[in-house]
Amino acid sequence: MRKLTFGLMFLVLVAVASGCAPQKKAMYYWDGYSKSLYEYKKSPSDETFAKHVESLQNIIKYSTENNMKVPPGVYAEMGYYMLVAKKPDEATKFFKLESQNFTESTIFMEKLIETAKQNDKPKPTKTGEAQ
């Protein structure tokens, strides 16, 4: 009898607890983003970098498959890595995606697209950016 009472109490508790939790759909899907980025920062290597890029790709894949908005900055970060890897066309593609996903980013993305274009041309000489 005692066991039964306990069981019942437990059930009630679970019901109450789950009732309190918000049942709304998650806003964004982030996969293992924070962890993979931290691992990459802690010990930068091809391997940790590849893991982090994989996180970004997973985020994009999962979000688009589930009709969720890709979280802010994810396309842009992919674009930035493409820029560093000297793939300006790929970079531009991602910067445009960020801009479409969040129009707030447009001013910044246009600047990055401009940088990508300049990287595309053969560099004459290395000059410091004049402000």
Chain contacts with another protein (rule: CB under 8 A): 24, 27-28, 30, 33-35, 37-38, 41-42, 69, 71-74, 76-77, 79-80, 98, 102, 104-108, 111-112
Minimum CB distance to another protein smaller for 106 or for 119: 106
Query: Closest distance between another protein and the C-beta of residue 84, in Å?
Result: 8
Minimum CB distance to another protein smaller for 73 or for 119: 73
Query: Closest distance between another protein and the C-beta of residue 128, in Å?
Result: 11
Minimum CB distance to another protein smaller for 60 or for 76: 76
Minimum CB distance to another protein smaller for 3 or for 68: 68
Query: Closest distance between another protein and the C-beta of residue 62, in Å?
Result: 14
For residues 32 and 37, what is the distance between their CA atoms, to the nearest angstrom? 8
Contact 77, 41 (CB under 8 A): no
Per-position DSSP letters for 76-112, written without gaps between them: HHHHHHHHHTT-HHHHHHHHHHHHHH-GGGHHHHHHH
Tally of CB atoms within 10 A around 79: 26
For residues 100 and 102, what is the distance between their CA atoms, to the nearest angstrom? 6
